[in-house]
Amino acid sequence: MVAVGAAIVLLVAIAVASLVPSSTVGTKPNARTGVEEPTPYALVPASAEPVNDRVVFGDVPDDVERFDTDSSFYFVTVTAPSQSVLSWVAGRNDPAVSFLTEEDKFGSRTPTQRREINLQAMRTAEQEAQFLALTTLGYDAEIVPGEVIVQEVLCLEVADDGTCALFPPSAEFIEAADTVLEADGVALDSVADLSAVLSDKQPGDTVDLLIDRPEVGEMTVEIELTSSPEDPDRTIVGFRPFDTQVVTLPFEVDIETNQIGGPSAGLAFTLALIDELSPGDLTGGRNIAVTGTVDLEGNVGAIGGLPQKVSAVHQNGVDVFIVPASQPELQSPEPGEPDERQRLDDAGKGQVQIIPVATLDEALAALVELGGDPVVPVGAR
């Protein structure tokens, strides 16, 4: 009877713990203020999925060859669901779980802004992947300037606690995800057009901007200009724009990006597209996971959630993971700081080979060392 009673109490306790939010027991310091805050969410592994299956070709000229592949590059995703006390207890020592405050997960942006920013970042990653892949293979591709979309308002001065001590005057009127359509009545087709309008203005001058805000519509705002924190002689509005350049390709190719948020699959897209259009097999007959942003010059940039992605790679049976060399987790720790590289190894159960690369060329060289075939440009076939 005692054993049965204890079992019933334990089951009830587990059921209650699975319903009570983790914010009742879990806290962490706010990155900006240092104040302890509840952690109702956690960044956890999501999936590792083949990229090659997402490459779609339209009408391809007869002289463009496509090649079958026996394996695939994998892009990797993470998710940040709500947590219960039970999941907090189970995950607090798991290297692939990072508990999050409200600010960690959502920042200060609205749901509409987050959605628009993620979509734009994904479009940019897809365009850059297509341009890099085709030019690496020797095809001609052109870059056409795109519209002016606000990625974030600049911070002109950072306080000692990491918060922004000084925003530009424009911060009162423009927001992330705004599209700037006109400046002083001049239609803007690119960031260069905006720079031309500002070229004869000084800090303190004003400019009328016609902006289009998601779910709000068009509005005209008068902005006081300021000087660039990097170059005091340059007059700016005070925001960082998205790279919205559009790639013109010699033939139709697309990468299905549904259910992918953000630009972290850029390098995986690039390698998969090269693999589809190059003879041989870049992967050497094995599945290889890849993460990292990539720009038009082929530089690979850092991403978030690397421990969670290493875990997702391991859970999906992939044992090689190409990652950005600039990841903070791969840098030598300061005295007294934890060794984040060990956390990556623990997240992959010691069974995931992590290969850091700084550029697309380094990634291609790493694939050759793993047994993959080198890229053969169209002019050399």
* Residue 124 confidence (pLDDT): 75
Give the chain's residues under pLDDT 50: none
Q: Which amino acid is at 72?
A: S
Q: Bridge partners of 78? A: 45
Domains of the chain, each with CATH number or no CATH? 46-79+116-144+251-380 (3.30.230.10), 150-241 (2.30.42.10)
* Residue 254 confidence (pLDDT): 80
* Residue 67 confidence (pLDDT): 86
pTM for the structure as a whole = 0.79
Count of other CB atoms within 10 angstroms of residue 341: 15
Count of other CB atoms within 10 angstroms of residue 36: 11
Which residues lie closer than 8 Å to 350 by C-beta, 6 or more apart?
none
* Residue 246 confidence (pLDDT): 80
Q: Bridge partners of 356? A: 323
Which residues lie closer than 8 Å to 37 by C-beta, 6 or more apart?
27, 28, 29, 30, 101, 102, 103
Spatial distance between the Cα atoms of 311 and 100, rounded to a whole number of angstroms: 18
* Residue 375 confidence (pLDDT): 93
* Residue 350 confidence (pLDDT): 94
